[in-house]
Amino acid sequence: MAREFTPKVVTANDLLLGDVIYQTASGWTRELDHAEVLTDEADADLRLIEAAQQINRVVGAYLADVVPQAGGPAPAHFREAFRARGPSNYRHGKQEDDIAPL
């Protein structure tokens, strides 16, 4: 029996900077709060295909489970919560004040 589709976001890594990024309705963001929440499986598959075709911008695109909330989606799994916080070895990337614009 097929599993029920749960809300998802498209996530990947920025090809040049390596940062975790999330797909929005009009581009990419480094903030999970601003990611486009996909609730339709066919739409999610199409958005993932679009992301995977952006080989000059992103690497490793996939659909990540989220929990929709008033302030934006929240990670549904530990792995995604860990990725959303940024690197863990020392302060850089999202953890720094100087984040390069998308």
- Condensed to tens digits (0 to 9), the pLDDT of residues 62-101 reads 999 999 999 999 999 999 988 888 766 655 555 565 555 5
pTM, rounded to two decimals: 0.82
The span from the CA of 60 to the CA of 101, in Å, is: 20
Q: Does residue 74 fall inside a structural domain?
A: yes
42's enclosing H/E stretch is helix 41-52
Range of the domain at 82: 8-88
Cβ(68)–Cβ(35) under 8 Å? no
What's the structural domain count of the chain? 1
Q: Does residue 97 fall inside a structural domain?
A: no
Q: Does residue 42 fall inside a structural domain?
A: yes
Q: Does residue 39 fall inside a structural domain?
A: yes
DSSP state for residue 94 in the 8-state scheme? G
Write down the pLDDT at residue 18. Answer: 87
Q: Does residue 95 fall inside a structural domain?
A: no
Q: Does residue 34 fall inside a structural domain?
A: yes
Q: Does residue 81 fall inside a structural domain?
A: yes
Phi, psi for 46 (deg, rounded to 5): -65, -45
Give the sheet arrangement for strand 28-29, strand by strand: 28-29, 20-23, 8-14, 58-67, 74-75
Average pLDDT over residues 17-27: 94
